[in-house]
Amino acid sequence: MRRFWIVLALGARTYEIEYRQLELDELSQRAEREGGVVGGLKEVQDHVEEARNRRAALIELLPDGTPDDWVAIGSTPLFDEYERKLREIGQKLDPALRDKDIPPLRRQLEVVCAIGAPSFDRDAVPALTRDRKDDGILYTALLADADLPVSDDKHLVPDRHEHHWEHDSRSVVAVTFDTLVSERLDAANLGEIDGSWLTVAHG
């Protein structure tokens, strides 16, 4: 799973460069039109340069053909559920996990999620699954037009393989992580990726 996060980190850096470059182009054009100094121009230039350097360093490490367009989508309800799960069962998965480790792990997830779903009132989320706590996660995917919500939760992928969800003219196919790796991620050789490279992407 951590190796897949590296693929998502590469996608996040690629997306950031594209987004920052658009912002930089807009500020540069404004500077040409208005003359003088446009606030924020140097800061954006520095962000673009840093993102390019981190992406280049990651590309150097990754196997040839690793996709750079896989981007994770997040939302506050998704991050909250991730943190709740860590507090509830985190030590069963990793006995060394401490309470103080959980906020940094949440921030790590937030950083990897390069795109945010449109904001929504969690109290107005429709009932979609058999577990109310999972509805916000699925609704995030639907609102953001995600391609593949990835989860091993039985309420999101009831058949333990993949499940088609529809709501209000939107649809997504949720898959388990094993299904993603075996059937949907052919271009990435996860076996050649080191999970510690996440620090290369984000410091």
The confidence score (pLDDT) of residue 77 equals 92
Torsion of the alpha carbons at 93, 129, 82 and 199, rounded to the nearest 10? 90
Q: Quote the percentage of the chain above a pLDDT of 70.
A: 97
Torsion of the alpha carbons at 137, 196, 201 and 66, rounded to the nearest 10? -80
Of 188 and 165, more confident = 165
Residue 38: pLDDT band with limits 50, 70, 90: low
Phi, psi angle pair for 6, to nearest 5°: -65, -40
Q: Quote the percentage of the chain above a pLDDT of 90.
A: 71
Determine the Cα–Cα distance for residues 76 and 121; give it in Å rounded to an integer.
10
153 and 129 in contact (C-beta within 8 Å)? Answer: no
User: pLDDT tens, 60-89?
Assistant: 999 998 999 999 999 999 999 999 999 999
Question: How many CA atoms lie within 13 Å of 106's alpha carbon, on the beta-carbon side?
Answer: 18
Residue 26: pLDDT band with limits 50, 70, 90: confident
Determine the Cα–Cα distance for residues 94 and 20; give it in Å rounded to an integer.
37
Which of 33-47, 110-124, 178-192: highest mean pLDDT? 110-124
Of 16 and 189, more confident = 16
Report pTM.
Answer: 0.85
Determine the Cα–Cα distance for residues 184 and 187; give it in Å rounded to an integer.
9
Residue with tokens 């009132």: 121
